[in-house]
Amino acid sequence: MPLDPKIAERLKRTSDGLVPAVVQQHDTGEVLMLAWMDDEALHRTLTTGRATYWSRSRGSYWVKGDTSGHVQWVKHVALDCDGDTILLKVDQVGAACHTGDRTCFDADVLEVPA
């Protein structure tokens, strides 16, 4: 069963058919990661309640936590006003980053002038 056509028609995809997905912890708003979705990944996410993404490097789908145990239970999904970004609010179990950090934004903080 494909992605609901009403949702699919709103998506603005990159030339390779992908939409960036910003992932936040649902109760704190902490930004955990950015990943990529196509129509099938979004459909799987909406129907299973588990965050599913498209891996650009591997060229395949991956369900967050299937190999690491660091599952993302999806609590809320929204499109931005332009339909070119997906927001997933999740309950993150364990680390979100493949490096083992809580978020993908922990390790390389850039300085901003005061």
97 within a domain of the structure (yes/no): no
Domain assignment of residue 101, yes or no = no
Distances (CA, A) of 18 to 37, 38, 54, 83, 88: 5, 5, 8, 12, 15
> What range defines the domain where residue 53 resides?
5-92
How large is the greatest C-alpha to C-alpha distance in the chain, in angstroms?
Answer: 52
Residue 104 belongs to some domain of the structure: no
Domain holding 64: CATH number? 3.10.20.810
Q: How many helices (H) and strands (E) does the chain have?
A: 2, 6
In a domain, 111, yes or no: no
* 110 in a structural domain: no
Q: The whole model's pTM is what?
A: 0.91
* Tens-digit pLDDT profile for residues 33-71: 999 999 999 999 999 999 999 999 999 999 999 999 999
The H or E element containing residue 46 is helix 39-48
Number of domains in the chain: 1
